Chains A and B, each alone.
Chain A
Amino acid sequence: AQTVTQSQPEMSVQEAETVTLSCTYDTSESNYYLFWYKQPPSRQMILVIRQEAYKQQNATENRFSVNFQKAAKSFSLKISDSQLGDTAMYFCAFMRSGAQKLVFGQGTRLTINP
């Protein structure tokens, strides 16, 4: 069974700073996908970024980028130039190839302070 671990329950940074959220996972699969979702206080789960395990290049989406270390089974999210609207719970999620089933970490509550 796959597990996803987010070791930082809470983080807080000042607006415009850069912040990195950690995620590690455990799997014996070779084909899989990794995601970061954010869940603001409104509860809507929003996709932030997706990474295919077979791709060596780290995914980026505007201010969001990941550091994917396959051998270390690590998948961290970097948010550059953080904004107040980035305040949310951030979930790291794993999906093995061949199954539409996400396995989530426990989440990191990120607060961006003005």
Chain B
Amino acid sequence: KAGVTQTPRYLIKTRGQQVTLSCSPISGHRSVSWYQQTPGQGLQFLFEYFSETQRNKGNFPGRFSGRQFSNSRSEMNVSTLELGDSALYLCASSVEALRDTQYFGPGTRLTVL
């Protein structure tokens, strides 16, 4: 089975722009979670989608949003980018139950200049 895929792998944006990151889960997985990884804050949970609905949300401002499509693919969007949004954004998928293990993609490295 193919793993979790994320596109693009690298992205450079400037302050004030917006960005959309994409995540395709493992085939058969219906839950997709997003995490932000920075040297200062470590790994932090952004949100989780299941069946096209946001099921869990972390403590991030409203500039961070996401969605999930009927084929379980997910996108996250960051509007009005700030320098502090520079990070590795990781997507993880799991089958569906709220006890299932999450499997991660390779991440998207976002740099905001």
A residues lining the B interface (CB < 8 Å): 33, 35, 37, 42-47, 50, 91, 95, 97-107
Q: Please tell me which one of the listed residues A33, A35, A42 contacts residue B106 in the complex, with CB atoms under 8 A apart.
A: A42
Contact B101 A47 (CB under 8 A): yes
**B103: which A residues are within 8 A, CB to CB?**
47
| B65 at the A interface (CB under 8 A) | no
Instruction: Give Cα distance in the complex from A38 to B68, angstroms.
Output: 27
Within the complex, which residue of A33, A50, A100, A107 is in contact with B42, where a contact is CB–CB below 8 Å? A107
Contact of B55 among A43, A100, A103 (CB under 8 A): A100
User: Which 3 A-B pairs give the minimum distances between C-beta atoms?
Assistant: A45-B104, A104-B43, A100-B48
B104 touches A98 (CB 8 A): no
Q: In the complex, what residues of A have CB within 8 A of residue B105's CB?
A: 44
Chain B: CB-nearest residue to A44: B106
Q: Is B31 an interface residue (CB 8 A)?
A: yes
The reply to whether A100 and B31 form a contact with Cβ atoms under 8 Å apart is: yes
B 87-105 to A, binary, CB cutoff 8 A, 1 in contact else 0 = 0101010100011111111
Q: Is B74 an interface residue (CB 8 A)?
A: no
Check A100–B104 contact: CB distance below 8 A. Answer: no
> Is B107 at the interface (CB under 8 A from chain A)?
yes
B residues near A106, Cβ cutoff 8 Å: 42
Q: Which residues of B contact A107 (CB under 8 A)?
A: 42
By the criterion CB–CB under 8 Å, are B106 and A101 in contact? no
Choice from A43, A99, A102 contacting B98 with Cβ under 8 Å: A99
- B72 CB to nearest chain A CB (Å): 13
